[in-house]
């Protein structure tokens, strides 16, 4: 019997249920964990406000064939004398890293625990959190954790907005602006293919355009190597464009692959 694990923070939406469907095509039994991990939230972030409805989550997960939902408590995950941190240096250093100090260490630590507790055959993570996916691949490789990590495609609303729990924070006005993040990433991909040597100036222009559309701040729009996440000056064929921007109380992230 093969087992697949999908770590989540709950507030289950179609992005999450797509991971369950993907897992079911790879293994016999699917386990979903729900844990709002305090260690990955910064001091001024939305830990207290993060939506939680365990009953509804379990209903949504079982309706798509989840076999087991694991909802540990905070003291079960982090007993009082908990002292270990898993830190992935290179991949976590850029992009969201400087804007969310400690975030990837929190993610890496809890995911390491969840993988070792359940020792699944596979674990599925969404490409929506592309940097997170690469950080997890790296830690699994470095720590010889015997689990195959699978990335699953981003599920989007009809207007292109990547589905996310944090979309709930958007006001109706901001919800109309939000898909512009995906729109600009698509434009960057087109522009970069037309002018491969101009990645930096194209990203500068994209940041300005997002501010003009109504985003309050743009943390980054960057063209990066798809494997190392090194920012690129020149596009050579294996790249992603990644972006993070703030809209009202929400911080939205998105990415797309740039193909020749």
**Residues engaged in binding ligand AMP (CB under 6 A):** 8-9, 15-16, 18-19, 125-126, 128-129, 152, 154-155, 162-165
Cα–Cα nearest to 119, from 37, 36, 39, 29: 29
Residue 24 CB partners (closer than 8 Å, separation 6+): 4, 30, 65
Least gap, CB of 212 to ligand AMP (angstroms): 26
Closer residue to ligand AMP (CB): 164 or 182: 164
Q: How far apart are CA 108 and CA 3, in angstroms?
A: 21
- CA 98, 101, 107, 109 dihedral sign is positive
Length in residues, the chain: 260
Least gap, CB of 195 to ligand AMP (angstroms): 30
Least gap, CB of 99 to ligand AMP (angstroms): 17
Buried b (16+ CB within 10 A) or exposed e, 143-177: eebebebbbbebbbeeebbbbbbbbebbeeebbeb
Closer residue to ligand AMP (CB): 162 or 206: 162
26 belongs to the catalytic site: no
Closer residue to ligand AMP (CB): 123 or 177: 123
Least gap, CB of 125 to ligand AMP (angstroms): 4
Q: Which of 16, 26, 103, 240 is catalytic?
A: 16
Q: How far apart are CA 210 and CA 229, in angstroms?
A: 22
Closer residue to ligand AMP (CB): 14 or 246: 14
Least gap, CB of 162 to ligand AMP (angstroms): 5
Least gap, CB of 184 to ligand AMP (angstroms): 18
Does residue 103 contact residue 97 with C-beta atoms inside 8 Å? yes
Question: Of all residues in this chain, which one has the CB nearest to ligand AMP in the complex?
Answer: 126
Closer residue to ligand AMP (CB): 133 or 199: 133
Residue matched to tokens 């589905």: 163
Residue 121 CB partners (closer than 8 Å, separation 6+): 2, 3, 4, 27, 147, 148
Q: How far apart are CA 58 and CA 240, in angstroms?
A: 34
Closer residue to ligand AMP (CB): 157 or 200: 157
Residue matched to tokens 């729990």: 165
Which are the catalytic amino acids? 16
């Amino acid at each position: 019997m093969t087992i697949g694990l999908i770590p989540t923070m709950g507030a289950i939406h179609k992005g999450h249920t797509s991971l369950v469907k993907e897992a079911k095509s790879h293994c016999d039994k699917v386990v979903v964990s729900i844990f709002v991990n305090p260690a990955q939230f910064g001091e001024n972030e939305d830990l207290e406000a993060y939506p939680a409805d365990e009953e509804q989550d379990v209903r949504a997960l079982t309706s798509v064939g989840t076999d087991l939902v694991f909802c540990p408590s905070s003291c079960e995950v982090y007993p009082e004398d908990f002292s270990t941190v898993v830190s992935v240096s290179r991949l976590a250093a850029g992009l969201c890293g400087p804007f969310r100090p400690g975030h990837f260490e929190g993610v890496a630590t809890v995911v390491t625990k969840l993988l070792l507790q359940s020792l699944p055959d596979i674990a599925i993570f969404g490409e929506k959190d592309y940097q997170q996916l690469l950080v997890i691949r790296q830690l699994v490789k470095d720590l010889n954790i015997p689990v195959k990590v699978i990335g699953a495609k981003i599920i989007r609303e009809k207007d292109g907005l990547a589905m996310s729990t944090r979309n709930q924070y958007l006001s109706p006005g901001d919800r109309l602006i939000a898909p512009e993040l995906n729109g600009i990433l698509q434009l960057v991909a087109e522009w970069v293919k037309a002018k491969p040597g101009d990645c930096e100036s194209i990203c500068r222009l994209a940041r300005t355009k997002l501010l003009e559309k109504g985003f309050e701040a743009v943390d980054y729009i960057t063209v990066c190597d798809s494997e190392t996440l090194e920012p690129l000056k020149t596009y050579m064929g294996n790249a992603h464009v990644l972006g993070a921007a703030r809209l009202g109380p929400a911080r939205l992230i998105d990415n797309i692959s740039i193909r020749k």
